[in-house]
Amino acid sequence: MFKNLAKTLCVVAALGAAGVAAPTAASAGDFRATISIGSGGVELVGHRGHRAHGRHIRRATCTPGKALRKARHFGIHRAHIRSVNRHSITVAGRKHRSHALVRFARVRGCPVIAYR
């Protein structure tokens, strides 16, 4: 038992010294490590940050599909995308036998900017 405890302490000390010696390498890649000591021994668990690494993730923005679903929910029949740009999505269709046009902002929740 003493040998296992001695090995565990040596590993923890070595990992602690390595963490102190190289703080710039750890911060450059946004890499965080956690040391877990339990009944299975010492385990080094590495965690990457929630970065996309070169690609932009747009989860919380309004997409053309979401805009179409929302327009159909408003009661617009034969809804189709008329235009898409950086700031808005325009959906056109029919409502109560007349032409309907809805413009949604490209932010979370697809808020309505204009309705004709």
pLDDT band for position 60 (cuts 50, 70, 90) = confident
Of the candidates 71, 73, 69, 62, the one whose C-alpha atom is nearest the C-alpha of residue 100 is 71
Q: Which amino acid is at 19?
A: G
**Residues 67/80, Cβ–Cβ less than 8 Å:** no
pTM, entire model: 0.51
pLDDT band for position 105 (cuts 50, 70, 90) = very high
Residue 26: the pLDDT is 46
Q: Which two tokens stand for residue 36?
A: 């877990």
For the chain, the structural domain boundaries read 2-48, 64-115
Of the candidates 113, 54, 55, 109, the one whose C-alpha atom is nearest the C-alpha of residue 85 is 113
Of the candidates 91, 81, 82, 86, the one whose C-alpha atom is nearest the C-alpha of residue 112 is 91
- Provide the 8-state DSSP code for 84: E
pLDDT at 53 over 50: yes
